Amino acid sequence: MKKQLLSAILLGATLFGAKAQLSPHDLNAPFGWATCTSLTTGDTYPVTGGNDGSLTTLKSNGGDMKAALNDAIQHYDIVVLDGSDGDFTISSSLTLKELRDKTIVGINNARLRSQFHVTDEIKAALDSVGVKNMSGNDGGGTLVNGVSVKEEGEYYTRKTLIELLGDEKESYRKSGIFTLNQCENIIIRNLAFIGPGSVDVGGYDLISVIGSTHLWIDHCAFTDGMDGNMDITQKADFVTVSWCTFAYTEQSYAHAFSNLIAGSDDPSQGEFNLNVTWANCWWQAGCQNRMPMARFGVIHLFNNFYDCPGASRCINPRKDSDFLIENNYFAPGVTRIFSQTDAAAYVWRGNLFSEAFTPQDYGTVLVPYTYTLYEASEVEPVVSDPQNGAGATLKNPLDMTPGTSAMETAETAAPLWRSGSFIIARDASATIDLYSMSGSLLDSQKGRLDTAPLPPGNYLTRCRGEVMRVICR
């Protein structure tokens, strides 16, 4: 029986017209874990969001936009938030439960902002009781509303705010924007999310992803989340976060912990879930921790910019997690790059460090999808470009034509190409590595690799910055 060789490489095509503002490294289409259907099956799930469904455009009326935003999202497939009339103020996090096939995008500098914010008066009150010097582990107590709080710092923060604000219900703790609960096939692009400022009250995140799957969050800016900027928990899975910025400003007080994956070591959080891709993201000044911190999932970090001098901990694999860390750039002043506790595996490839750091691998980590890397030395200018880098920089966020951003055609850009049963490197001196989907290195050849002897199945090849999934039939 004649064997058929198929391959998939995420490459761009020629730039055309209005699409010229995109970075040459911007695929302009879902990729990564969002497109997977299992730990070993990638590039198979079509993340379409609202696709070509019903559309509505919403502008701010200057008041609380929570109800209007909820109505639009519930009744339309595609919601365009137009920022030309000002920010969208949200009184408390909008829970979107069990929704499917939705696209939410921003135009004209659309920003969603929490109604509550941490004031100088609040900061002074917290300073007066010494909150910043208190324990984050134990020493808590019971609040006047009957709520028991374990951690000393959180207890005295909440106690002080209840006394200052007179709100025993602590409604301010819900100061987030979206809670995506059990949703599927959601696209969020080109929006700025602005929180009240970080403060340790066990509050809401700007976006909380709970049990949701197949999400693509692209070209968004997250600033001053109360608890985190964006957290992913409770069996959420198959999420890609690309071209996003994360920052904390002087608005924040404490707990500037940006991105958490899994809220505890309990396996019920998602022992075989919580798989997330982070690509072309920018952790900026003010971020102190969790960039990301993760348990259980397979976390892929590539071509990200760590620009957070003074951070206490950047990348933090925890219980049973696997981290693949590739071609990221760590700026001057970023010294506390990595700390792990009970991780299953972590692998470093092609990263660039401005400060002294020697990465060490433990185990093997592979992902089942196709992706393309560029050199870590290019990350800072690419990701920080104000015209087409990370953040809400898209001119037309509803245009998601795959591969319309690359400067070169696939024929001239690809390090790898196929001919018959052969995988061929355009540079004949380059080494092609062949892996099984379980991560075992099967073969290494210079210049060309023959797949004819391989049994039918899925494989991965890697040549320099290019990873290609190969299907032998």
Q: Check whether the bond before 292 is cis (ω within 30° of 0).
A: yes
Give residue 304's pLDDT.
Answer: 98
- Residue 332, φ and ψ in degrees, nearest 5: -55, 140
- Written as six digits, the tokens of 76 are 């339309």
* 185 in Cβ contact with 155 (< 8 Å): no
| pLDDT given for residue 176 in this prediction | 97
Q: Which residues have a Cβ under 8 Å from the Cβ of 172 and sit 6 or more positions away?
A: 116, 161, 165, 196, 201, 203
Spatial CA neighbour of 202 closest among 162, 255, 166: 255
The answer to whether residues 435 and 460 touch, using CB atoms and an 8 Å cutoff, is yes
H or E, element range at 70 = helix 66-75
pLDDT given for residue 17 in this prediction: 31
Per the structure block, which two tokens stand in for 128?
């007066």
Q: Which residues contact 5 (CB under 8 A, 6 or more apart)?
A: 418, 420, 421, 451, 470, 471, 472, 473
pLDDT score, position 418? 64
Residues in Cβ contact with 398 at an 8 Å cutoff, skipping those fewer than 6 apart: 78, 80, 103, 105
pLDDT (0 to 100) of residue 11: 29
List the pLDDT tens digit at each of the 473 positions of the chain. 333 444 433 322 222 233 447 999 999 999 999 999 999 999 999 999 998 899 999 999 999 999 999 999 999 999 999 999 999 999 999 999 999 999 999 999 999 999 999 999 999 999 999 988 887 778 899 999 999 999 898 999 999 999 999 999 999 999 999 999 999 999 999 999 999 999 999 999 999 999 999 999 999 999 999 999 999 999 999 999 999 999 999 999 998 999 999 999 999 998 899 999 999 999 999 999 999 999 999 999 999 999 999 999 999 999 999 999 999 999 999 999 999 999 999 999 999 999 999 999 999 999 999 999 999 999 999 999 999 999 999 999 998 877 554 333 333 345 666 666 778 776 777 888 887 765 678 888 888 888 888 888 777 787 866 677 676 76
